[in-house]
């Protein structure tokens, strides 16, 4: 591809037609065929060089966006969509052939009609994301396509470098001080993304939401067979009692076992078991009842569990998670919540934090005729990085998570800062091994409730 002289900073990031060259598919397709084949966490600037001129500029952004647009157009003709509402994206299938294998160029035009729906989805999402990455990397104009990682490419916009482990106050200073003028002037949305459990709040929402379902007697007997099956497998359990118990009573037993920190692992359900059992217990519950139960989980609590909103992380320095979200909103950095928990809980969590509910995504529960079926339609647990690429308007300036398994891929997408909340050794190790150690650990002193109990107003 022969590039025209680069016109201006604004022209590059907006890929203005007057400055960006036309795409020469016969030359560029070979380099584009790696779209959807690399590890996003390890993606380098060199990987984004579509034109092969060792530079990142308008030509690369234009080719990638044109590819994404053509894939989207083909999907639309088939009645398909890459929107989150149409289904969560889980990334390219393992060991699958490159998504563009069946693409052909004829008389200078690119044809994607032979691609399967799944391959078109990969191309549309991944090419769009790479185009955005090019625009961010070349924010000051054309730049060398170096072998260094894309992750953290926008760190020069922050007031101070943050490494290894920081204090919560450093997060607030980073939000207050990050320079947004170039991003906004380039039409790139400044965004942030949060996990929820053990990231924004201390603990797992499974406990309090099950308590609310029990207190409100929303658990139907249809859930009892699966409850009995799970409970009967636990050590030390009275199987005869479990067999005779109602679903409500077995749910109460399940909650007591799950929340008992003194029990051995063999005597209590796993987090995965709890997730799917609570989904089962929602069968027959109307969406209105579910929304009310989610609200009560946060605002009033149930049984021995306090209102969950009191468990939001806070710190003696005044920079708790609620303040972080408020500062993001004030700066015009759009916060998003991406949680593996149920979608109805993710939506309520966003509402409690001051995040617009259309910026909340969780594992999707199946609904028929206005009632939950007791089945998970789509899980967000292992694919947060892919969902970020599908969903967000741009690579995030800030990303927050606590789990090396479910949150690492999301934090690895950050063009700015990725924070490991109460970063555990496995998370820190993975950051060093797969992300060059660029993710930063942070610990909070407690929760809003615990600091209030200490006398903080």
pTM for the full model?
0.93
Band the pLDDT of 6: cuts 50, 70, 90. Answer: very low
Band the pLDDT of 18: cuts 50, 70, 90. Answer: very low
Joined together, the tokens standing for residue 438 give 């660029």
The domain spanning residue 368 has which CATH number?
3.40.50.1000
Asked if residue 430 belongs to a domain, the reply is yes
SS3 31: helix
Domain that holds residue 110: 9-150
Picking from 129, 150, 171, the residue at the C-terminal end of a domain is 150
Burial status of residue 219 (CB atoms within 10 A of its CB: 0-12, 13-18, 19 or more): buried
Joined together, the tokens standing for residue 425 give 């050794």
Joined together, the tokens standing for residue 442 give 């942070």
Q: Are residues 377 and 433 in the same domain?
A: yes
Q: Are residues 178 and 40 in the same domain?
A: no
SS3 16: coil
Write down the mean pLDDT value for the chain: 93
CB 178 within 8 A of CB 172: no
| Mean pLDDT of the 45-71 span | 95
Q: Are residues 177 and 43 in the same domain?
A: no
Joined together, the tokens standing for residue 387 give 């969902």
User: Is 60 exceeded by the pLDDT of residue 8?
Assistant: no
Query: pLDDT tens digit string along 193-220?
Result: 999 999 999 999 999 999 999 999 999 9
Q: How many helices and strands in the chain, by DSSP H and E? A: 18, 14
Q: How far apart are CA 56 and CA 119, in angstroms?
A: 26
User: Is 50 exceeded by the pLDDT of residue 12?
Assistant: no
Residues in Cβ contact with 97 at an 8 Å cutoff, skipping those fewer than 6 apart:
none
User: Is 90 exceeded by the pLDDT of residue 337?
Assistant: yes
User: Is 50 exceeded by the pLDDT of residue 294?
Assistant: yes
Q: Are residues 53 and 138 in the same domain?
A: yes
Joined together, the tokens standing for residue 285 give 């519950």
Q: Are residues 46 and 192 in the same domain?
A: no
Sheet (strand 417-421) strand order: 165-166, 440-442, 417-421, 398-401, 191-194, 334-342, 360-368, 371-378
Residues in Cβ contact with 289 at an 8 Å cutoff, skipping those fewer than 6 apart:
216, 218
Provide the pLDDT for residue 19: 52
Asked if residue 214 belongs to a domain, the reply is no
Domain count, the chain: 2
Asked if residue 445 belongs to a domain, the reply is yes
Asked if residue 271 belongs to a domain, the reply is no
Query: pLDDT tens digit string along 131-188?
Result: 999 999 999 999 999 999 999 999 999 999 999 999 999 999 999 999 999 999 999 9
Cβ atoms within 10 A of the Cβ of 400, count? Answer: 28
CA R_g for the chain = 24
Cβ atoms within 10 A of the Cβ of 448, count? Answer: 19
Asked if residue 288 belongs to a domain, the reply is no
Q: How are beta strands 398-401 and 191-194 bridged, if at all? A: parallel
């Amino acid at each position: 591809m022969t590039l025209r002289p680069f016109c201006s900073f604004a022209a590059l990031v907006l890929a203005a037609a007057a400055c960006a060259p036309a795409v020469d598919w016969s030359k560029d397709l070979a380099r584009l065929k790696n779209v959807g084949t690399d590890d996003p966490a390890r993606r380098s600037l060199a990987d984004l060089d579509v034109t092969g001129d060792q530079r990142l500029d308008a030509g690369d952004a234009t080719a990638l966006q044109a590819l994404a647009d053509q894939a989207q157009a083909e999907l639309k003709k088939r009645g398909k969509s890459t929107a989150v509402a149409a289904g969560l994206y889980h990334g390219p299938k393992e060991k699958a052939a490159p998504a563009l294998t069946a693409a052909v160029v004829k008389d200078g035009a690119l044809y994607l009609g032979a691609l399967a729906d799944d391959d078109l989805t990969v191309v549309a999402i991944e090419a769009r994301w790479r185009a955005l990455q090019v625009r961010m990397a070349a924010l000051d104009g054309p730049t060398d396509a170096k072998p260094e990682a894309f992750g953290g490419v926008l760190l020069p916009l922050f007031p101070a470098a943050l490494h290894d482990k920081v204090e919560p106050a450093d997060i607030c200073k980073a939000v207050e001080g990050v320079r947004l003028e170039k991003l906004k002037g380039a039409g790139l949305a400044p965004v942030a993304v949060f996990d929820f459990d053990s990231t924004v709040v201390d603990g797992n929402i499974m406990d309090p939401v099950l308590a609310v379902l029990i207190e409100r007697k929303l658990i139907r007997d249809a859930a009892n067979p699966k409850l009995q099956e799970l409970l009967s497998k636990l050590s030390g359990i009275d199987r005869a009692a479990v067999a005779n118990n109602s679903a409500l009573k077995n749910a109460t037993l399940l909650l007591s076992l799950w929340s008992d920190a003194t029990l051995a692992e063999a005597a209590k359900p796993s987090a995965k078991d709890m997730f799917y059992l609570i989904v089962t217990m929602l069968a027959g519950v109307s969406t209105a009842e579910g929304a009310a139960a989610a609200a009560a989980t946060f605002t009033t609590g149930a049984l021995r569990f306090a209102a969950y909103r009191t468990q939001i992380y806070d710190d003696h320095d005044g920079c708790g998670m609620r303040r972080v979200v408020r500062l993001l909103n004030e700066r015009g950095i759009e916060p998003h919540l991406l949680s593996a928990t149920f979608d109805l809980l993710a939506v309520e969590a966003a509402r409690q934090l001051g995040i617009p509910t259309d910026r909340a995504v969780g594992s999707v529960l199946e609904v028929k005729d206005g009632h939950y079926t007791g089945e998970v339609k789509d899980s967000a647990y292992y694919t947060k990085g892919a969902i970020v690429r599908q969903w967000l308007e741009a690579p995030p300036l800030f990303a927050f998570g606590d789990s090396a398994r479910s949150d690492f891929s999301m934090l690895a997408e950050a063009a700015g800062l990725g924070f490991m909340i109460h970063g555990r050794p496995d998370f820190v190790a993975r950051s060093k091994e797969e992300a060059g150690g660029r993710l930063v650990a942070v610990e909070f002193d407690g929760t809003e409730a615990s600091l209030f109990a200490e006398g903080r107003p």
